Structure 1
Amino acid sequence: MSLVLQRIEDTRQALIGALADRNWEVIGQLDLDCRSCMEDVLSEAALDEVALRDNLEELLHVYKQLLDAAIGERQAIADEMSQITQAQNAAKVYHLFG
C-alpha cells in the first residue's frame, strides 16, 4: 500500500475513534489532515485506482456518519436552547404575577 493510501486509512481510523468519543476538536484537526491527504492524492501519479476508490468510499462513509452526528448534536443544542428560552419566559411571567 502506498504511503498516501496508508495516510488516508490512518486518518479514517482516527476519525472513527474521534467520532466515537465525540471529540470535535480532534475531528476538526483530522479533517484538515484529510484535506492534506487529498492534495497528496492529486499530486501522486502512480496510485492503484481500485485501492484509492475503495479507501475514498470508506472515507466518504465516515464523513456521512460525521455529518449525521453533527446534525444530531446541532438539533440537541437547538432543543436545549428552546427549553431554556421557555423556562426564562415562564420565570418572567411568574415574577410579573408573583
Structure 2
Amino acid sequence: MIRHIVIFTLKRPEDAPKVKALLDSCQGLVPGMHEFDVGIKTEGLEANADVVLISTFEDAAALAAYQPHPHHEGVVAQIREMAASRHVLDYFC
C-alpha cells in the first residue's frame, strides 16, 4: 500500500471548501484507490495549512494511474491557481 498525502496552503483560505469539493470529485477515479479523505482547517484547532488530502493506493501502479488521469489533471490545474504552496509525501504503509 502507498499513502499519498498532499497539504495545501491557499492564497485565500476562504477557498478551502471549493478546493475540498474539487479534490472530493477525484475519489474512486482509478482501481486500487482504497482510502480518500479531504480535510480543511477547523477554527479552534491547530493548523498551519488549509487543506489536506490523505489517500491510500494498492500499489505504485494504482498511484501512477491516478496522477495523469484527465479528471485529476483538470482538478490539479484549478487548485494550482488557488494554492500558495503544496507539500507532498508518498510512502509505503
Shared fold, TM over 0.5:
no
TM-score normalised by L of structure 1: 0.30
Higher normalized contact order (CA 8 Å, seq sep 6+, divided by chain length): 2
TM-score, with length taken from structure 2: 0.31
**Is the radius of gyration larger for structure 1 or structure 2?**
1
